[in-house]
Structure 1
Amino acid sequence: MNFRTICVSALALVVAAAPVSVQAESLREALTAAYNNNPNITSALLAVKSTAEGIVTAKAGRLPSIGAGLDLTHSFNNAVNGNFNSTDTATLGLSYNQTLFDNGKTDAAIEQARAMTEVSAQALRNAEQNVLLSVVQAYMGVIRDSQLVQLRSDNVKFLQAQVKSAQDRLDIGEGTKLDVSQAQTGLATGVASYQAAIANLQTSQASYERWVGHKPRNLTQDFSFKGMLPKSVEEAIAASDVYHPAILSAKAAIRAAQSGSDQARAAFGPTMNLIGKIGTTGTLNESAGNSTNVISGSVGLSLSIPLYSGGVLGASVRKANLGQMKSEFDAQVTRDQVREAVVTSWATLQNAVAQIDAAQQALNAASLALDATVQSRDVGQSTTLDVLNAQSQVTQARESLISATSSRVIASFALVSATGKLSAGDLKLPVKIKSADGYIATVEDVWQDLRAIAE
Structure 2
Amino acid sequence: MTRRIFSGVVLGVVLGIAPIQLSAETLASALTAAYNNSNLLDQSRALLRAEDEGVAVALSALRPQIGGSASLTQTDNRTAAGASLAATVALSVDMLLWDAGRTKLAVEAAKESVLAVRSQLVQQEQAVLLDAVNAYVQVLRDQRVLGLRQSNLRLITQELRAARDRFEVGEVTRTDVAQAEARLASARGDLANAQGQLEITRELYKLAVGRAPSNLKRISSLPKLPASENAAKATGRRSNPLIDQVQHQIKANELSYARAKAGTRPSLSASGRVSHTDSSGTTDSSSIGLTLSVPIYQGGQLSALTRRALALVHSSKAQLNQQVLSVEQGVGNNWAQLAVARAQVRSSERQIRAAQIAFDGVREEAKLGARTTLDVLDAEQDLSDARTNLVVSQTQVYSAAYSLLASMGLLTADNLGLNVVRYDPAEYYNAVKDAPVPISKSGKKLDRILNRYQKN
Q: TM-score, normalised by structure 2?
A: 0.88
User: Any residues of structure 2 matched to 1:59-138 within 5 Å, and which?
Assistant: 59-79=59-79, 83-138=80-135
1:276 aligns with 2:272: yes
Determine the structure 1 residue equivalent to 2:50.
Answer: 50
Amino acid at match of 2:208: W
User: Any residues of structure 2 matched to 1:274-313 within 5 Å, and which?
Assistant: 274-283=270-279, 285=280, 291-294=281-284, 296-313=285-302
Cα distance between partner residues in 1 of 2:130 and 2:424: 19
Cα distance between partner residues in 1 of 2:266 and 2:314: 27
- Farther-moved stretch of structure 1 (273-282 vs 155-164): 273-282
Cα distance between partner residues in 2 of 1:163 and 1:453: 79
Percent identity of paired positions between Structure 1 and Structure 2: 31
What per-residue deviation string (whole Å, max 9, x for no partner) do you get for residues 178-214 of structure 1?
2112222222222222222112111110100111111
The structure-2 alpha-carbon separation of the partners of 1:22 and 1:196, relative to structure 1 and needing over 3 Å to count, comes to: farther
SS, match of residue 426 in structure 1: helix
- Farther-moved stretch of structure 1 (232-241 vs 134-143): 232-241
Cα distance between partner residues in 2 of 1:347 and 1:428: 26
Determine the structure 2 residue equivalent to 1:401.
Answer: 390
Cα distance between partner residues in 2 of 1:206 and 1:438: 35
- Farther-moved stretch of structure 1 (158-167 vs 135-144): 158-167
1:411 aligns with 2:384: no
Determine the structure 1 residue equivalent to 2:180.
Answer: 183
1:24 aligns with 2:24: yes
Determine the structure 2 residue equivalent to 1:442.
Answer: 431
User: Any residues of structure 2 matched to 1:23-422 within 5 Å, and which?
Assistant: 23-79=23-79, 83-222=80-219, 224=221, 228-283=224-279, 285=280, 291-294=281-284, 296-422=285-411
Partners of 1:22 and 1:217 within 8 A in 2: no
What per-residue deviation string (whole Å, max 9, x for no partner) do you get for residues 193-247 of structure 1?
2222112111110100111111110111225566x32121111111111211111
Partners of 2:239 and 2:408 within 8 A in 1: yes
Cα distance between partner residues in 1 of 2:118 and 2:174: 70
The structure-2 alpha-carbon separation of the partners of 1:124 and 1:135, relative to structure 1 and needing over 3 Å to count, comes to: same
Determine the structure 2 residue equivalent to 1:11.
Answer: none
Partners of 1:142 and 1:208 within 8 A in 2: yes
> What is the CA distance between 1:108 and its match in structure 2?
2.1
Amino acid at match of 1:406: T
Partners of 1:22 and 1:218 within 8 A in 2: no
Cα distance between partner residues in 2 of 1:98 and 1:154: 81
> What is the CA distance between 1:297 and its match in structure 2?
2.0
> What is the CA distance between 1:279 and its match in structure 2?
3.4
> What is the CA distance between 1:86 and its match in structure 2?
4.9
SS, match of residue 23 in structure 2: coil
Determine the structure 1 residue equivalent to 2:12.
Answer: none
What per-residue deviation string (whole Å, max 9, x for no partner) do you get for residues 374-410 of structure 1?
0011001111121112111111110111111111111
Cα distance between partner residues in 2 of 1:453 and 1:130: 34
> What is the CA distance between 1:293 and its match in structure 2?
4.9
User: Any residues of structure 2 matched to 1:418-429 within 5 Å, and which?
Assistant: 418-429=407-418
Partners of 1:373 and 1:387 within 8 A in 2: yes
Partners of 1:95 and 1:277 within 8 A in 2: yes
Determine the structure 2 residue equivalent to 1:5.
Answer: none
Cα distance between partner residues in 2 of 1:63 and 1:313: 25
Partners of 1:133 and 1:417 within 8 A in 2: yes
Cα distance between partner residues in 2 of 1:450 and 1:95: 21
The structure-2 alpha-carbon separation of the partners of 1:452 and 1:70, relative to structure 1 and needing over 3 Å to count, comes to: farther
- Farther-moved stretch of structure 1 (445-454 vs 20-29): 445-454
Cα distance between partner residues in 1 of 2:222 and 2:50: 35
> What is the CA distance between 1:100 and its match in structure 2?
1.4
Partners of 1:27 and 1:223 within 8 A in 2: no
Amino acid at match of 1:184: E
SS, match of residue 307 in structure 2: helix
SS, match of residue 218 in structure 1: coil
SS, match of residue 279 in structure 1: strand
> What is the CA distance between 1:97 and its match in structure 2?
0.7
- Farther-moved stretch of structure 1 (311-320 vs 167-176): 311-320
> What is the CA distance between 1:75 and its match in structure 2?
3.7
The structure-2 alpha-carbon separation of the partners of 1:55 and 1:204, relative to structure 1 and needing over 3 Å to count, comes to: same
Amino acid at match of 2:427: G
The structure-2 alpha-carbon separation of the partners of 1:379 and 1:389, relative to structure 1 and needing over 3 Å to count, comes to: same
1:431 aligns with 2:420: yes
> What is the CA distance between 1:27 and its match in structure 2?
1.1
> What is the CA distance between 1:21 and its match in structure 2?
8.7
Amino acid at match of 2:298: S
In structure 1, the gaps of 5 or more residues are: 1-16, 286-290
SS, match of residue 62 in structure 1: coil
Q: Provide the alpha-carbon RMSD of the alignment.
A: 2.2
> What is the CA distance between 1:454 and its match in structure 2?
9.8
Amino acid at match of 2:289: G
> What is the CA distance between 1:88 and its match in structure 2?
4.3
Cα distance between partner residues in 1 of 2:282 and 2:316: 64
Cα distance between partner residues in 1 of 2:195 and 2:432: 52
Q: TM-score, normalised by structure 1?
A: 0.88
Partners of 2:436 and 2:442 within 8 A in 1: no
Cα distance between partner residues in 2 of 1:100 and 1:21: 70
In structure 2, the gaps of 5 or more residues are: 1-16, 445-456
> What is the CA distance between 1:57 and its match in structure 2?
1.1
